Amino acid sequence: MSENYYSREPRVTPPHLRAQTATRRQQPNRRQTRRPPRRSRENRLAAVIALLVVAAIVGGGVWMWLNRTVHVSVNGTGADVSASATLEQIMEAEGISPKPGNLVSVGGNVLEEGGGTAFTATVDGQELDEAGIAAFRAAGNENITFGDGADVTEASHEEEREVQPQLEPAESVGAITFVSQYGKVGRQKFVVGDVSGETVAGEVIEPVQNVKLESINPRPDDGRKVVAITFDDGPSGYTQRYLDILSEHGARATFFCLGSQIPGREDLVQAIKAQGSQVCSHTQNHEQLTAIDADTLRSEIGDAFAAISAAGGGDTTTLRPPYGSLDAQAWVNSGGNFSASVIWNLDSLDWELPGVDAIVSNCTNGAWSGAIILMHDGGGNRDQDLEALPKILETLQGQGYEFVTLSELFSMDSRIPADVAAGNARMPEDCVWATSVAE
Ligand SMILES: [Zn+2]
């Protein structure tokens, strides 16, 4: 194609070529159109500078406003501090260093020194909480008082637990100590420290019922003149002769038999009952109950009751502890397998073999109604006792005393429950025994 070809056409540019033609026509002017005139560029620069200056003035003003000094009172003394200062910044600027509190257990023991809050702050009379301390910014004229940090109590949770009964020992010491109240399990809420594991008692849901002991010297309510003579450590070869003497004098007594002495002497156990006297337990092997472990103690007591029952001596839960030795822990250790412990008021001291006259006077001098006398039908030579026994019976009968069994004596004293007096009281089915001694 050539120029000539177009030259033959009418001098009208076809529509699809017009723009191209126009562009081509404007091309020589393009650079001139994009470059602003010199004056315009200077105006824009000035505007930018002006903006920067304004920004600097405003920013500086804000900075100065924020960093201006305000007057406050700190622990009673005037102080100039930066506006918007936090409490920590004010403390540091004023050289105040409170002692931090501790992290403490629910029981009040220190778990971590300095583990509590760093300080306390009271502003215009109001002590701030943690959020208030964090949010505080000085505005001027505040009256600020800093104090030592507060203790913080460990995290804890609440648990509902069973409370086992404890044993409340008797408040006095008498010849008979018995269970006056059996135990019942209680329920109570406890606060348990998550760190320490300590527990603090809270709301009582069901009150616990403790085991209670009572100890008295029995005396007949009606002033009747009775004494109870008791024999320990049998049955033995002397027992039947004692029974004969008692029968001859119309007297009854109580025999505290050793379980280990019963085999082969079952007839004597039955003879005691047949004579009208009473059989109780002196334990199986005469161990000191305060010196043995709980399992041994329970079998020492339980085995003898079983041996007496099997021999025909009847159902008894009454005990004379060897050596008269029994304490609150031994009661706890028993699991409640006996109901009463009986000691004595007048001691024959027959085991010292002091002579017939001494035994008689030891058993009769100063006797009173309800007194319990201690002698032995086993454990050694009892010839002095055999000779002394009729004299003791005659002496006291001469003073108007009647010789009765312990059950008979106890049933005359209305302070002693009927089943304890009967000698075979047991813990009721809906009750439980104490697991420890009450403090
Ligand atoms: Zn004994």
pLDDT digits (tens, 9 = 90+) for 248-301: 999 999 999 999 999 999 999 999 999 999 999 999 999 999 999 999 999 999
Q: Check residue 11 and give its pLDDT.
A: 54
Which of the pair, 24 or 86, is modelled with greater confidence? 86
Residue 6, pLDDT > 50, answer no
Assess whether 280 and 425 both reside in one domain: yes
What is the 236 CA–ligand 1 centroid distance (Å)? 13
Does position 241 have pLDDT exceeding 90, yes or no? yes
280 membership: H or E segment, kind and range: strand 278-281
**Does 188 share its domain with 145?**
no
Give the residue numbers spanning the domain of 79.
69-153
- Which residues have a catalytic role annotated? 232, 376
Examine the pLDDT at 343 and tell me if it is beyond 90.
yes
In a domain, 15, yes or no: no
The residue with tokens 């309800």 is 370
- Cα of 200 to ligand 1 centre, how many Å? 45
pLDDT greater than 90 at residue 31: no
Q: Check the CA dihedral 308-309-313-317 and report its sign.
A: positive
Segment of 32-41, 58-67, 89-98, 294-303 carrying the highest mean pLDDT = 294-303
H or E element in which residue 192 lies: strand 186-193
pLDDT at 14 (0 to 100)? 52
Is residue 433 within 8 A of residue 211, CB to CB? The reply is: yes
Q: How many domains does the chain have?
A: 3
CB 376 within 8 A of CB 233: yes
Are residues 241 and 134 both part of a single domain? no
Distances (CA, A) of 326 to 144, 229, 329, 428, 429: 66, 21, 8, 23, 25
**pLDDT of 108 over the 50 cut:** yes
Angle between helices 383-398 and 356-364 (to 10 degrees): 40
Q: What is the pLDDT of residue 58?
A: 85
Q: How far is CA 126 from CA 132, 133, 283, 394, in A?
A: 10, 11, 72, 89
The alpha helices in 100-215, defined as continuous H runs, are 130-135
> 134 and 262 share a domain?
no
Rounded Cα distance between 88 and 268, Å, is 91
C-alpha 341 – ligand 1 centre gap (Å): 13
User: What's the gap in Å between 225 CA and the centre of ligand 1?
Assistant: 27
86 and 204 together in one domain: no
Report how far ligand 1's centroid is from the alpha carbon of 159 (Å). 49
Residue 127 lies in a domain: yes
Give backbone dihedrals phi and psi of 271, rounded to 5 degrees, phi first.
-65, -35
C-alpha 39/C-alpha 398 separation (Å) is 149
User: Taking 70 as the threshold, does the pLDDT of residue 15 lie above it?
Assistant: no
Q: What is the mean pLDDT of the chain?
A: 92
Residue type, 291: A
Is 406 within the bounds of a domain? yes
Same domain, 148 and 162: no
> Do 188 and 238 fall into the same domain?
no
Banded model confidence at residue 21, pLDDT cuts 50, 70, 90 = very low
437 strand-pairing partners:
167
208 band by pLDDT with thresholds 50, 70 and 90: very high
What is the number of other CB atoms lying within 10 angstroms of the CB of residue 38? 7
- What's the CA-to-centroid distance between 322 and ligand 1, angstroms? 5
What's the confidence (pLDDT) of residue 329?
98
Q: Which helix (H) or strand (E) holds 202?
A: strand 199-206
- CATH number of the domain encompassing residue 270: 3.20.20.370
Q: What is the pLDDT of residues 391-414, one digit of tens each?
A: 999 999 999 999 999 999 999 999
Residue 144 lies in a domain: yes
> What spacing in Å lies between the alpha carbon of 422 and ligand 1's midpoint?
22
Tell me: do 190 and 311 sit in the same domain.
no
Q: At what angle do helices 239-248 and 266-275 cross, to 10 degrees?
A: 10
Q: Are 206 and 187 spatial neighbours (Cβ–Cβ below 8 Å)? A: yes
Are residues 262 and 407 both part of a single domain? Answer: yes
